[in-house]
């Protein structure tokens, strides 16, 4: 059963990451009238959706009993403040990572992030060197912070008996607080002027829902697999998004370096998951 959950969660993570990158990139470059939606508010809404989804899952696990749900939340969260506070560190890092993802997708050109865009709206030749540098630094910072947060979160999940959904509620709680702080610091004036949900449309809500789903799936992958396999799944999703951009949207030409990297990632994934059978004892005739 755990093996099935392991590969199911990995497959969903590849699909979710690929869809999120494509839709988020499109939502950040789409030209529309009025103000663009604020990435800081989208991060907060995604955290709140994740908390709501996890509460429903805990409610289901407790046979749809409100009394049992209230008891579990009280015993596992309120009565264990130190256990809850442990999630503040990875939560802050994940919140930073989610905001950096929006920064990267708003500054990098299509070839760098494997996303199709109208050449008249976002031509790589028109992007400033400073903009590309900001996007690259955002990606690198997100990569390093994600690795640390993933290992830390895996350690917490596998060393305690609390369910992955309870841990996600704790994670989302701190994520919402850190996210609201970012909204106030960086976008407080814009929110007071145009509202918290300025620029939101159907595509924005799809991006928010995919990001919330990503938090749940990542937790499941770390719980039933490990952080290394999560990294492989993310790498495969990058390859998949590039292939979609090349074969379907026909505006990205992969280089030899890309093909080499893709081969290395796929090979590493299979080698990591390969479990050779022990050789049988040889008997003398």
Residues 86-112, mean pLDDT to the nearest whole number: 73
Buried b (16+ CB within 10 A) or exposed e, 109-148: bbbebbbbbeeeebeeeebeeeeeebbeebbeebeebbee
**181-238 pLDDT, tens per residue?**
999 998 999 999 999 999 999 999 999 999 888 878 877 776 666 656 666 676 777 7
| Distance, CA of 157 to CA of 151 (rounded, Å) | 10
Return all residues near 73 (Cβ < 8 A) that are at least 6 apart.
55, 58, 166, 169
Asked which of 201-205, 260-264, 270-274 is least confident by mean pLDDT, the reply is: 270-274
Look over the chain and give the mean of its residue pLDDT values, rounded to a whole number. 77
Q: What is the mean pLDDT of residues 258-279?
A: 68
Separation of alpha carbons 77 and 96, rounded Å? 24
| Selected residue with higher pLDDT from 22 and 123 | 22
Secondary structure of the chain: what % helix, strand, coil (to 5)?
80, 0, 20
- Let me know: does 247 contact 283? Beta carbons within 8 Å: no
Q: Residue 117's pLDDT is what?
A: 35
Mean pLDDT, residues 239-243 taken together:
75
| Helix, strand, or coil (residue 142) | helix
Place of tokens 């760098």: 112
How far apart CA 136 and CA 113 sit, in angstroms, is 10
Say how far apart CA 162 and CA 156 lie, in whole Å: 9
Among residues of the chain, what percentage have pLDDT more than 90?
Answer: 23
25-53: pLDDT as tens digits: 778 777 777 788 998 999 999 999 999 99
Sign (positive or negative) of CA dihedral 101, 103, 106, 108? negative
Decide: 164 and 12 in contact? Cβ < 8 Å: no
Residue range 55-71, pLDDT digits in tens = 998 999 888 899 999 99
Domain definitions of the chain by residue range: 1-32+201-274, 38-199
């Amino acid at each position: 059963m755990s093996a099935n959950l392991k590969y199911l969660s990995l497959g969903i993570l590849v699909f979710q990451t690929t869809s999120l990158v494509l839709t988020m990139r499109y939502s950040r470059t789409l030209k529309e009238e009025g103000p663009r939606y604020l990435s800081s508010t989208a991060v907060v809404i995604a955290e709140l959706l994740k908390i709501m989804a996890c509460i429903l899952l805990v409610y289901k696990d407790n046979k749809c009993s409100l009394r049992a749900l209230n008891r579990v939340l009280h015993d596992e969260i309120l009565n264990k403040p130190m256990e809850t506070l442990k999630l503040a560190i990875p939560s802050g890092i994940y919140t930073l990572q989610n905001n950096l993802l929006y920064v990267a997708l708003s500054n990098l050109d299509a070839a760098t992030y494997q996303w199709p865009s109208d050449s008249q709206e976002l031509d790589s030749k028109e992007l400033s060197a400073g903009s590309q540098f900001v996007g690259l630094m955002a990606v690198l910072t997100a990569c390093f912070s994600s690795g640390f947060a993933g290992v830390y979160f895996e350690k917490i999940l596998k060393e305690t008996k609390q369910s992955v959904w309870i841990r996600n509620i704790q994670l989302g709680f701190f994520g919402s607080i850190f996210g609201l702080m970012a909204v106030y610091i960086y976008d407080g004036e814009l929110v007071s002027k145009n509202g918290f949900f300025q620029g939101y449309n159907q595509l924005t809500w799809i991006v928010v829902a995919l990001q919330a789903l990503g938090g749940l799936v990542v937790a499941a992958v770390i719980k039933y697999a490990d952080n290394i396999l999560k990294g492989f799944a993310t790498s495969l999703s990058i390859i998949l998004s590039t292939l979609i951009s090349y074969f379907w949207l026909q505006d990205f030409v992969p280089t030899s370096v890309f093909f080499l990297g893709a081969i290395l990632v796929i090979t590493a994934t299979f080698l990591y998951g390969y479990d050779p059978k022990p050789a049988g004892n040889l008997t003398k005739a």
